[in-house]
Amino acid sequence: MEFIRNFPFFSILLSLGSGVLTSIMNKKTARLWNTFILAAITVMSAVLFVYMLEVGEPYTFMMGHFPAPWGNEIRAGVLEAGMALFFCLIMLFSLKGGQEHIDAEVEETKVNLYYIMINLLLSSLLALIYTNDLFTAYVFVEINTISACGLIMITQSGRTIEAATRYMIMASLGSGLLLLGLCILYDITGHLLMSSIKQSILYVYAQGTYNIPLIASIGMVVVGLAIKSALYPFHTWLPDAYGYSTVSSAAILSSLVSKGYIFLLIKIFFRVVGFDIIVDSKIVNILFVFGLFGMIMGSVNAILEHDIRRMIAFSSVAQIGYIYMGLGLGTTMGIVASIFHILSHASTKSLLFVAGVGLTDASGGSKKFEDLTGSGFRNPAAGIAFTIGACSMVGIPLFSGFISKMLFAEAAVQNSLAKMLPTMICLAISTVLNAIYFMKTVIRLYTPASKKVRKTQAGEAAAVSMREHPLYHLALLCMVILNVLLGCCSQPIVDWITSGLSMFG
Amino acid sequence: MHNNYMIFVSIVLPILAGVLLLVTPDRVFKSRQMLINMTAVSFVVCALSPVLVILRQTGNTLLLFFLVDEIPVFFAVDHLGRIFAGIVLLVFLLAGFFSFVYMSHEKNEKRYYGFYLITFGVLLGLCFSGNLVTLYLFYEFMTLVSMPLVLHTGSKEAVMAGLKYLFYSFCGAYMALFGIYFLYQYAIAFDDVEYQLWSGGYETSRHMLSFVSGGSLDLKAVAESGNTAFCLIAVFMMIVGFGVKAGCFPFHAWLPAAHPVAPAPASAFLSGIIVKGGVLAIVRTVYYVVGAEFLRGTWVQAVWASLAVVTLLMGSSLAFKEKVLKKRLAYSTVSNLSYILLGLSMLNETAFTGSILHVVFHAVIKSALFLSAGALIFITGNTKVNDFMGLGKRMPVLFWCYTIVSLGLIGIPPTSGVVSKWYLAVGCLESGLTGLSWIGPAALLISALLTAGYLLPISVRAFLKETDYEAVRNDYKEPRPLMLAPVVILAAVTLVLGLYPTPLIQLIQSVIAAGLF
**Cβ pair B185:A424 closer than 8 A:** no
Q: Please state, as a whole number, how many other Cβ atoms lie within 10 Å of the Cβ of residue A277.
A: 19
CB A324 within 8 A of CB A231: yes
> Which DSSP letter does residue B131 get?
B
Nearest CA of chain B to the CA of A396: how many Å? Answer: 7
**Cβ pair B181:A448 closer than 8 A:** no
Q: Which of B298, B333, B299, B296 is nearest to B316 (CA)?
A: B333
> Dihedral through CA A253, CA A255, CA A258, CA A263, nearest 10?
-140
Q: Pick the range with the lowest mean pLDDT from A160-174, A454-468, B218-232.
A: A454-468
Q: Pick the range with the lowest mean pLDDT from B325-334, B356-365, B432-441.
A: B432-441
CB A472 within 8 A of CB A54: no
**Cβ pair A443:B68 closer than 8 A:** no
Binned at pLDDT 50, 70 and 90, residue A172 comes out as: very high
Q: Where are the beta strands (DSSP E) in B44-167?
A: 61-68, 71-76
Bridge partner list, B61: B3, B76
Nearest CA of chain B to the CA of A215: how many Å? Answer: 35
Is the peptide bond prior to A233 cis by the omega test (within 30 degrees of 0)? yes
Please determine, for residue B372, whether its predicted confidence score (pLDDT) is greater than 70. Answer: yes
Per residue in A98-137, pLDDT (tens digit) is 988 888 888 888 888 999 999 999 999 999 999 999 999 9
Is the peptide bond prior to B414 cis by the omega test (within 30 degrees of 0)? yes
CB A143 within 8 A of CB A124: yes
Task: Please give the average per-residue pLDDT across A194-203, as a whole number.
Answer: 89
Contacts of B182 in chain A (CB under 8 A): 413, 424
**Cβ pair B170:A413 closer than 8 A:** no
- From B68, B159, B175, residue closest to A403, measured CB to CB: B68
Task: Please give the average per-residue pLDDT across A469-486, as a whole number.
Answer: 92
The pTM of the full predicted model, rounded to 2 decimals, is 0.85
Angle value at C-alpha A432, between A427 and A438, nearest 5 degrees:
120
Please give the Cα distance from B271 to B269 (Å, whole number): 6
* Residue A179: exposure state from Cβ atoms within 10 A (0-12, 13-18, ≥19): middle
Please determine, for residue A182, whether its predicted confidence score (pLDDT) is greater than 70. Answer: yes
CB A320 within 8 A of CB A234: no
Q: Which of B395, B246, B384, B406 is nearest to B326 (CA)?
A: B384
CB B363 within 8 A of CB B273: yes
- From B140, B171, B182, residue closest to A413, measured CB to CB: B182
**Average pLDDT taken over every residue of chain A:** 89
Task: Please give the average per-residue pLDDT across A35-57, as a whole number.
Answer: 92
- From A410, A432, A488, residue closest to B174, measured CB to CB: A432
Mutate to test the interface with B, among A373, A377, A402 (most CBs of B within 10 A): A402
pLDDT of the residue at A253 = 92
Please give the Cα distance from B324 to B260 (Å, whole number): 8
CB A121 within 8 A of CB A141: no
Task: Please give the average per-residue pLDDT across B11-20, as a whole number.
Answer: 92
Bridge partner list, B62: B75
Per residue in A342-368, pLDDT (tens digit) is 999 999 999 999 999 999 888 888 888
Task: Please give the average per-residue pLDDT across B191-212, as a whole number.
Answer: 61
Task: Please give the average per-residue pLDDT across A377-386, as a whole number.
Answer: 88
Please give the Cα distance from B409 to B456 (Å, whole number): 10
- 3-state class (DSSP) for residue A422: helix
- From A394, A406, A435, residue closest to B68, measured CB to CB: A406
Nearest CA of chain A to the CA of B61: how many Å? Answer: 20
**Cβ pair A439:B170 closer than 8 A:** yes
Chain B nearest-CA residue for A437: B167
Nearest CA of chain B to the CA of A428: how many Å? Answer: 6
Interface residues from chain A to B (CB-CB < 8 Å): 391, 394-398, 403, 405-406, 409-410, 412-413, 424, 427-428, 431-432, 435-436, 439-440, 443, 447-448, 488-491, 494-495
Contacts of A443 in chain B (CB under 8 A): 151, 159, 162-163, 166
Is the peptide bond prior to A69 cis by the omega test (within 30 degrees of 0)? yes
pLDDT of the residue at A232 = 86
Contacts of B166 in chain A (CB under 8 A): 435, 439, 443
Please determine, for residue B453, whether its predicted confidence score (pLDDT) is greater than 70. Answer: yes
CA distances to A270, A335, A416, A423, B505 from A329, rounded to whole Å, are 15, 8, 9, 9, 51
Please determine, for residue B379, whether its predicted confidence score (pLDDT) is greater than 90. Answer: no
pLDDT of the residue at A459 = 46
Nearest CA of chain A to the CA of B309: how many Å? Answer: 28
Per residue in A62-98, pLDDT (tens digit) is 888 887 777 888 999 999 999 999 999 999 999 999 9
CB B334 within 8 A of CB B247: yes
Chain A nearest-CA residue for B163: A440
Mutate to test the interface with B, among A432, A446, A466 (most CBs of B within 10 A): A432
Per residue in A271-294, pLDDT (tens digit) is 998 888 888 888 899 999 999 999
Nearest CA of chain B to the CA of A31: how many Å? Answer: 36
- State the ipTM, two decimals: 0.75
DSSP H helical ranges for A1-110:
7-21, 27-55, 78-97, 99-105
**Cβ pair B177:A424 closer than 8 A:** no
> Which DSSP letter does residue B286 get?
I
Helix (H) or strand (E) holding B49: helix B32-55
Chain A nearest-CA residue for B172: A432
- From B163, B170, B181, residue closest to A409, measured CB to CB: B181
Binned at pLDDT 50, 70 and 90, residue B218 comes out as: confident
**Cβ pair A448:B154 closer than 8 A:** yes
Nearest CA of chain B to the CA of A496: how many Å? Answer: 13
Look up residue A179 and give its amino acid: L
Nearest CA of chain B to the CA of A482: how many Å? Answer: 15
Residue B413 φ/ψ, nearest 5 degrees:
-65, 155
CB B461 within 8 A of CB B382: no
Nearest CA of chain B to the CA of A432: how many Å? Answer: 6
Contacts of B177 in chain A (CB under 8 A): 395, 405, 428, 431
Of A462-471, B39-48, B224-233, which has the strongest mean pLDDT? B39-48
Task: Please give the average per-residue pLDDT across B26-30, as a whole number.
Answer: 79
Could you give the percent of chain B with pLDDT greater than 70?
92
Per residue in B33-80, pLDDT (tens digit) is 888 888 888 888 888 888 888 887 665 777 777 777 777 888 888 888
Bridge partner list, B196: B202
Beta-carbon contacts below 8 Å between A and B: 71
Contacts of B171 in chain A (CB under 8 A): 432
Nearest CA of chain A to the CA of B144: how many Å? Answer: 10
pLDDT of the residue at A103 = 86
Per residue in B155-172, pLDDT (tens digit) is 888 888 988 898 899 889
Contacts of B140 in chain A (CB under 8 A): 396-397
pLDDT of the residue at B200 = 59
Q: Which of B134, B165, B186, B190 is nearest to B11 (CA)?
A: B134
Residues 6+ apart with CB under 8 A from B289: B132, B183, B187, B209, B211, B212, B215, B216, B217
Per residue in B76-129, pLDDT (tens digit) is 888 888 999 999 999 999 999 999 989 888 888 888 999 999 999 999 999 999
CB A269 within 8 A of CB A275: yes
- From A391, A447, A489, residue closest to B159, measured CB to CB: A447
